[in-house]
Structure 1
């Protein structure tokens, strides 16, 4: 009988409308020492379909972590966060706000909606990569995620 624990990759949903930011994030997470599957959607409607396994996302695994931009076309990240945290089936998924907004109202509103952390994207590409590496190290290596 094998008593060693079985490990599965960490499932991550990236909700980001900027292809360049998404590509940098995907690249940095692919370099992680912890196995992960990062899935990218570009807007809030797709994010909710993904989270509810609807339409083209009918067979996806529930994410262990959500990286969420606030400034999305259509349904924005604030609305996504509010729906996720109001949904009994989704509310335990940690949500990292990853946005360009430095507006104090966005920070307070995100935490009031139960975001797990708020990270402002630096404009400088090297600083942005460093921030992604820090998120990667903390959320994939240091934190015990629900469902692991």
Structure 2
């Protein structure tokens, strides 16, 4: 799942998945509330995503509240969350790291870097093992 309110980044992500032939279903949410609805609300998706990328920036979407909810919900707390950002905000970085994120990553600006970023992420999620049991 990608939580990002930047339409260009969403299109860029779709393009990268397509170019790389990544067959994983990718869900998009433009806001924390939309993401929460996909995770636990009326529009809940199944299966629950194993990895979530959350854009944390200073313009609208902070993502920290969503991270808190994910970490406080037993069925969601094991989701790997990567924070992606194009801002340099130490306060957000510390808050996200304290919520046990898998990584804090600067957003690729150029489309070629975007392809490289998602290629590496795809390799990562293809080698890690997930449990199918709920804990």
Bigger drift between 114-123 and 98-107 goes to: 98-107
1:29: which partner in 2? 17
2:130: which partner in 1? 145
Bigger drift between 68-77 and 114-123 goes to: 68-77
CA distance in 1, matches of 2:82, 2:121: 9
1:44: which partner in 2? 32
CA root-mean-square deviation: 2.3
Measure how far apart 1:78 and its partner are. Answer: 1.1
- Aligned pair count reads 133
Bigger drift between 32-41 and 20-29 goes to: 32-41
Unpaired runs of 5+ residues, structure 2, are: none
CA distance in 2, matches of 1:142, 1:118: 20
Bigger drift between 109-118 and 124-133 goes to: 124-133
Measure how far apart 1:121 and its partner are. Answer: 0.6
Bigger drift between 124-133 and 66-75 goes to: 66-75
Q: CA separation of 1:23/1:108 partners in 2, compared to 1, >3 Å: closer, same or farther?
A: same
Contact 2:84 2:107 in 1 (8 A): yes
Whether 1:66 and 2:52 are equivalent positions in the alignment is yes
Q: CA separation of 1:124/1:83 partners in 2, compared to 1, >3 Å: closer, same or farther?
A: same
Measure how far apart 1:59 and its partner are. Answer: 5.2
Give TM-score, length-normalised by structure 1.
0.77
Unpaired runs of 5+ residues, structure 1, are: 1-12
